[in-house]
């Protein structure tokens, strides 16, 4: 009996020691979450390709489901490096991710990447997006504001195309950054066209035409129809509710066929978003 008791005491002691060892090891070794290594002892620390990055403020909106961007407080031991870390969702295609790496390298914004983790480290482009600046203006001033900036953005895009042999393929207003000195830069380089490939542009006039089409469709929604009630021209029907509609017939008692229905005119109104 004493031998059995001694055996179970040793077994319990061994299980306890193994549990303590496991907990200590799990605390000391970083763990992987979404293919990024986070250290339990420093939750804001990320290891990318052997280099340690300390995450700072989150720059992207929480509603953005494509990627998340943080400003880096430290990168590889350097404080305030002026870099950001961009983490894509794991659903992004490999080719698209590699395209942005190529685009960032072409415009000298690239720092590091991890393909398996879908993580990019790049230089921070400081300033405000053209979309943010436009949204702050009254509706009646937005068109003039965009007309002012369109030739400047086209000139900046043409200069990059001529010097770097790459043309930004998605110049929406969220991809255009304007700093305090009114310098123009571009972000989100996953869509582009290289020199001597379809879609490449280096002519300022042609780029300006494309910008006009893109910005007008974004800033100006399509015309809408307004009516007092859906499907009517605003006149109230004298027919009692629930009674069947009378079918219109020709004087000869034959159903009308082939005559187009006339719709009542609706008021159309142009407005800006």
Give me the residues paired with residue 79 across strands.
74
DSSP codes joined into one string, 215-237: HHHHHSPPPEEE-SSTTS-SPPP
- The structure tokens 């077994």 sit at 11
pLDDT at 24: 42
For each of the chain's 273 residues, which pLDDT tens digit applies? 555 555 446 565 566 555 555 444 433 333 343 445 555 555 688 888 889 999 999 988 766 678 889 999 999 999 999 999 999 876 778 888 999 999 999 999 999 999 888 899 999 999 999 999 999 999 999 999 999 999 999 999 999 999 999 999 998 899 999 998 999 999 999 899 999 999 999 999 999 999 998 887 655 543 434 444 444 444 444 555 555 555 555 454 444 444 444 444 433 333 333
pLDDT at 219: 54
The CATH number assigned to the domain with range 31-123 reads 3.30.200
pLDDT at 246: 55
Strand pairing class (36-39; 67-75): unpaired
The CATH number assigned to the domain with range 128-219 reads 1.10.510.10
pLDDT at 53: 93
70, 56 in Cβ contact below 8 A?
yes
Domain map (residue ranges) of the chain: 31-123, 128-219
Q: Which residues contact 180 (CB under 8 A, 6 or more apart)?
A: 127
pLDDT at 264: 40
Helices 204-219 and 142-164: crossing angle in degrees, nearest 10, is 140
């Amino acid at each position: 009996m004493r031998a059995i008791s001694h055996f179970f005491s040793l077994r319990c002691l061994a299980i306890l020691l193994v549990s303590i060892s496991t907990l200590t090891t799990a605390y000391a070794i970083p763990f992987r979450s979404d293919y990024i290594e986070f250290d339990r002892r420093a939750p804001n620390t990320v290891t990318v390709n052997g280099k340690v990055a300390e995450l700072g403020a989150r720059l992207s909106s929480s509603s953005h489901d494509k990627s998340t961007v943080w400003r880096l407080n430290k990168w590889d031991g350097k404080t305030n490096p002026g870099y950001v870390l961009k983490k894509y969702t794991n659903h992004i295609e490999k080719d698209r991710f590699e395209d942005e790496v190529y685009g960032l390298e072409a415009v000298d914004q690239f720092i590091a990447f991890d393909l398996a983790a879908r993580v990019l480290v790049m230089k921070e482009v400081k300033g405000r997006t053209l979309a943010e600046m436009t949204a702050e203006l009254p509706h009646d001033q937005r068109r003039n504001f965009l007309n002012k900036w369109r030739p400047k953005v086209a000139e900046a895009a043409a200069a990059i195309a001529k010097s770097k042999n790459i043309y930004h393929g998605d110049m929406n207003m969220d991809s255009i950054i304007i700093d305090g000195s009114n310098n123009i830069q571009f972000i989100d380089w996953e869509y582009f066209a290289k020199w001597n490939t379809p879609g490449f542009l280096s002519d300022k006039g042609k780029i300006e035409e494309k910008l006009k089409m893109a910005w007008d469709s974004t800033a100006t929604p399509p015309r809408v129809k307004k009516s007092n009630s859906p499907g009517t021209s605003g006149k109230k029907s004298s027919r009692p509710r629930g009674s069947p509609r009378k079918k219109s017939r020709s004087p000869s008692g034959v159903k009308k066929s082939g005559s187009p229905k006339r719709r009542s005119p609706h008021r159309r109104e142009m407005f800006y978003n």
